[in-house]
Amino acid sequence: MARRVNLDLLVLVLPIVLLMLLTPFCWSYKGLGPGCHLYPFNVTIRSDQQGTCRGSRMVYACVGYCESSAFPSHYSILLASNFTHNITSASRCCTISKVTKVKVRVECPQGHHHDNIEILSAQACRCDMCRRSRY
């Protein structure tokens, strides 16, 4: 009888313990789920190493992951590659699909000089074919 009670207690307690252990990992990436998302970050532009003139602005980047796969190559590909290309991969990367220009106001001490500089910020993201030129 005591053994039965211990098993019943274990069956009830185990899911709660697992949920408590795994919950912090769900919150660790600022609530973003799987996939490719816009991610805000602050950019600071400085005129020189000392940061005499500077400006900051919130911009967006694309972060996350996309589904990729690898599989054995078809026989026709094996023949064409002289049996050296035995694995075919289809890779997709999280990339910017739409950009926007944003202005950063760069100010100098005591208001002597200021400029507006345009930089690019991601406006939309998508999973797309990975290209070497992008990275």
What CATH number did the domain enclosing 100 receive? 2.10.90.10
Which pLDDT does position 47 carry in this prediction?
80
- CA quadruple 115, 120, 121, 126: dihedral, nearest 10: 180
CA distance 127 to 62: 10
**What local confidence, expressed as pLDDT, does residue 130 receive?**
86
Mean pLDDT along residues 97-121: 88
Classify residue 1: in a domain, yes or no.
no
Does any domain span residue 2?
no
State which residues form the domain around 48. Answer: 30-134
94 burial class (0-12, 13-18, 19+ CB within 10 angstroms)?
A: buried
Q: Is 84 helix (H, G, I), strand (E, B) or coil?
A: coil
The pTM assigned to this predicted structure is 0.61
Residue type, 119: I
Answer yes or no: is 18 within a domain.
no
**H helix and E strand count, the chain:** 2, 6
Give a yes or no: residue 123 inside a domain: yes
Lowest-confidence pick of 19-33, 67-81, 101-115: 19-33
The more confidently predicted of residues 20 and 60 is 60
The total number of structural domains that make up the chain: 1
In degrees to the nearest 10, what's the CA dihedral of 125, 127, 132, 135? 40
For the chain, the farthest-separated pair of C-alpha atoms sits apart, in whole angstroms, at 85
- Parallel, antiparallel, or unpaired: how do β-strands 54-64 and 114-129 relate? unpaired
Domain-located, residue 7: no
| Confidence (pLDDT) at 32 | 56
Specify if 102 maps to a domain. yes
Does a structural domain hold residue 12? no
Which range scores top for mean pLDDT: 8-12, 21-25, 51-55, 117-121? 117-121
Residue 17 lies in a domain: no
Res 14 pLDDT > 90: no
Q: Is the pLDDT of residue 26 over 80?
A: no
Reported residue count of the chain is: 135
Question: Predicted confidence band at 125 (pLDDT cuts at 50, 70, 90)?
Answer: very high
